[in-house]
Amino acid sequence: MIKKCEAVARAPLAVRPDTIELPALGESWRIDYLPTNTRRVGVMMEQPGRLTVYGAVADHGACLAVLKRWLKRRTREELVPWLAMLAGQGGFTFNEVLVRGQKTRWASCSSKGTISLSYKLLFLERHLVRYVLLHELCHTVCMNHSPRFWTLLSRYEPECRAIRRRMRGDWRRVPVWVEDTGN
Ligand SMILES: [Zn+2]
């Protein structure tokens, strides 16, 4: 498990974003809001880098909810296969992967081998995401943070201790609209 180390104290702000930067994927998205005569709100990937949120877009809360569902989808499309690839390379096995919007963790691994990934990982730099994925895979072998765990993890990421220290302030990279408006 990787804990959030800083309490986030920001005022709730239901403002729709105009762009979404996803360093984990090297992607930058521009968002257009298209009012249409329907009660629901949906999102379309028109072309690479362009998202259209359509429907009852005056409801900012509904727009944010649909964008968070899209972030979960991108996590399932991109980070889950990456986790599976790293597992294959390292000879790790896990049971299943859940994608969630945890408030206090980037990821976790249960004793049953279920790995939970936060879609907020999308806002981290790619090498940090790789570290988090390897960290959880090592928990499938060793559940605690004992010296044995760190020895194992350092075989896959020699800089693991330094990366862990550097990541302490990285919740600031999660945009306010993602962090403060529920999961
Ligand atoms: Zn851990």
User: Quick check: 122 and 96 in contact, CB under 8 A?
Assistant: no
Site of tokens 């390379």: 89
Task: Say whether pTM exceeds 0.85.
Answer: yes
**How high is the pLDDT of residue 103?**
81
Lookup: tokens for 6: 């800083």
- Ligand 1 centroid – CA 112 distance (Å): 15
**How high is the pLDDT of residue 3?**
60
- Ligand 1 centroid – CA 107 distance (Å): 8
56/135 Cα distance (integer angstroms): 41
Which residues neighbour 26 within 8 Å (Cβ) at sequence distance 6 or greater?
126
Is domain 19-179 given the CATH code 3.30.2010.10 in the classification? yes
- Ligand 1 centroid – CA 108 distance (Å): 7
Task: Tell me the average confidence (pLDDT) per consecutive run of 10 residues in the chain, 183 residues long.
Answer: 53 77 97 94 93 95 96 98 98 96 90 96 96 98 96 96 88 87 58
> In sequence order, what are the beta bridge partners of 33?
53
- Ligand 1 centroid – CA 75 distance (Å): 20
- Ligand 1 centroid – CA 150 distance (Å): 10
**How high is the pLDDT of residue 180?**
67
